[in-house]
Structure 1
């Protein structure tokens, strides 16, 4: 079940990259940085797959992910966990592909985009609240 991403965290997400953790069916982990990570709405995140064969394979076998966003200057960080959907065509794919092309025209079109339904949010900041569930 989706949770609402608090407004403060929606603002925090802007312009940041995310580290996406996935796991194969057998439990073999993988982490991949995603510069295309963005907030889709108050319950979903989205990122593009350009070159991530392990991410793609893992999400095909086990469609859940954890996404970590961290800001070095403030030592604030948050982890978003949720179910994923791989999208290879349609409006969300087209919108994401166009944004990537505008930002970095030398990159290929995404193989697909991943829509993440956020099911829980965890504080990963330095300090006494680190590790606590937010939503």
Structure 2
């Protein structure tokens, strides 16, 4: 398992929206912007699913994803690859429902996407673009 460094954690938390890419078992790609993203610890990212039907279908077939962390207030850009577990019940799912509700009361969380970080890459333009960082 890979753990984000404190510097990478700071960069990650500075982003506001995160493009999340998945693919079906057959390789059909899908990407969606997500905002209910929580860095739970240096190895674990939780995402609340309110609208992502194609994303969840892909993850049930192919439990891998790529998350992009960048924004105007970040100091760099990260591409994070992860193994994903989709949870639709249990204590962690209930906790995610409350976290989503606390952030935006009008949203209903249908699933928790629990990401375990496996690789981190630089995605900032320049000579080190695409370089594996972790």
Q: TM-score, normalised by structure 2?
A: 0.92
The residue that corresponds to 2:96 in the other structure is 96
SS in 1 for 2:26: coil
The residue that corresponds to 1:22 in the other structure is 22
The residue that corresponds to 1:116 in the other structure is 115
- Count matched residues: 133
2:8 aligned with 1:9, yes or no?
Answer: yes
Gaps of 5+ in 1: none
Taking the TM superposition and a 5 Å limit, the aligned residue runs for 1:1-135 are 2-16=1-15, 17-72=17-72, 76-108=76-108, 110-135=109-134
Q: For the aligned residues, what is the CA RMSD?
A: 1.4
> Which whole-Å CA distance do the structure 2 matches of 1:111 and 1:96 have between them?
10
Q: TM-score, normalised by structure 1?
A: 0.91
Deviations 1:70-107 (A, max 9, x none): 12355721011011001112232122211211221111
> Which whole-Å CA distance do the structure 2 matches of 1:120 and 1:23 have between them?
17
